[in-house]
Amino acid sequence: MLQFLNLDSITGKLMICMGISMNFEGFIKDIQRNGWNVFGTEVYENGRLVHKYGDTDKSRFPIYSATKTVVSIAAGIAFDQGKLKIERSVLDYLPVAAVKQMSKEQAETFREITIERLLTMSVEGFPFRPEGESYLKYSLACQVKKVGERNFHYSNIPAYLVGVAVTQALSEDLVSFLDRNLFEPLHIVDPVCQRCPDGYFYGASGMELSVHDLSQIGLLLYNGGVYEGRRILSEEYVKAATGIRQKNREGGYGYFIWKYRDGFSINGKWKQKCYILPERGLVITYLSHIEEESHALVQSMEKHLLGKIFT
């Protein structure tokens, strides 16, 4: 793993030293030739938009699990404001009435689950998504296991619970808070935000953004929490959220953010992607709807935009 990362870093530096430029046209030709359902894509170099293709700013598209990164940012802002402690139990922030309805055994188990454990998907046993008339009640009744062990287990429920916890910590509707503290500063106007039957922002999925909108979130993280000269998120939180906090087979996971090569990425279910590569000065975003379990699109992107050759 270390050898791979080092080689990849060296390759990137050699590309810069040798003046090798990216082949954006080659990437677009691959999209068109293969009929990949890519709505649009943007490429930023050193914070400046240098390439774009397709519908990047007129339409919004589902971003699925990329929504989780928005919840991570919300948690980070609440953390920066001193209203949320990552190491505290999630039960410290959930509605008192909901916690009181839990059995003694369930409450004791969930007492060990911190916000950090949810952000890193390191609790086993959650089903993939909450169901029923109350997502909160369903989530708190889940029979999680091995809470004392850290094992990567991907589920929508941790993101949902973090969203509810942040809402309670802020004493404010989370969508309203995000509008004022994230969306408006990033010039994202009234994004689609799904709510659960209890009325909370779902947080795990259900958002719709344009390609350009998602790029702005990527640029915020690329710049260490600063956007257009305004600090929105602390550098401390960005470093924690984008670093490897939990090992997994994909290379590592932060706070609802994936490790990607010498950077990190925001990922959605059907190939909604924002790749952030600070050492290379790159932010690459595309929104797609491709359900096939194929790596062809990302391999084309890496070949043409990152100069990585596959043999």
pLDDT single digits (tens) 30-73: 999 999 999 999 999 999 999 999 999 999 999 999 999 999 99
> What angle separates helix 235-242 from helix 67-80, to the nearest 10 degrees?
140
- Which position has the token pair 């969306």? 183
> For 220, how many CA atoms within 13 A lie in the half-sphere containing its CB?
31
Residue 11 in this model has a pLDDT that exceeds 50: no
Mark out the alpha helices in 40-181 (DSSP H runs). 67-80, 96-100, 104-111, 115-119, 135-140, 157-170, 174-178
Q: Distance from CA of residue 197 to its chain's centroid?
A: 23
- Report whether pLDDT(81) > 60: yes
CB 221 within 8 A of CB 242: yes
- Residue 12 binned pLDDT confidence (cut-offs 50, 70, 90): very low
Nearest-angstrom CA–CA distance, 229 and 223: 10
Say which range, 7-11, 248-252, 285-289, 299-303, has the weakest mean pLDDT: 7-11
Chain centroid to Cα 32, Å, comes to 27
- Tell me: pLDDT of 3 over 50: no
* pLDDT tier at 19, thresholds 50, 70, 90: very low
**Per-residue pLDDT at 21:** 75
Closest by CA position to 100, among listed 113, 91, 109: 91
Q: What is the pLDDT of residues 91-112, one digit of tens each?
A: 999 999 999 999 999 999 999 9
Query: Is the Cα dihedral 205, 211, 215, 217 positive or negative?
Result: negative
- Helices 67-80 and 211-222: crossing angle, nearest 10°? 40
Assigned token pair, 38: 């890519």
Count, residues in the chain? 311
Percent of the chain at pLDDT > 90 equals 90
Beta bridge partners of 208: 62, 192
Say whether 283 sits in a helix, a strand or coil.
strand
Q: What is the band of 309 on the pLDDT scale with cuts at 50, 70, 90?
A: low
Listed residue (295, 62, 288) closest to 191, CA to CA: 62
Give the residue-averaged pLDDT of 218-234. Answer: 98
pLDDT of the residue at 123:
97
Query: Residue holding tokens 């709807």?
Result: 289
pLDDT score of 8: 39
In this prediction, residue 18 carries a pLDDT of: 36
Task: Give the other-Cβ count within 10 Å of 68's Cβ.
Answer: 30
Q: Is the distance from CB of 41 to CB of 52 less than 8 angstroms? A: yes
Average pLDDT of the residues of the chain? 93
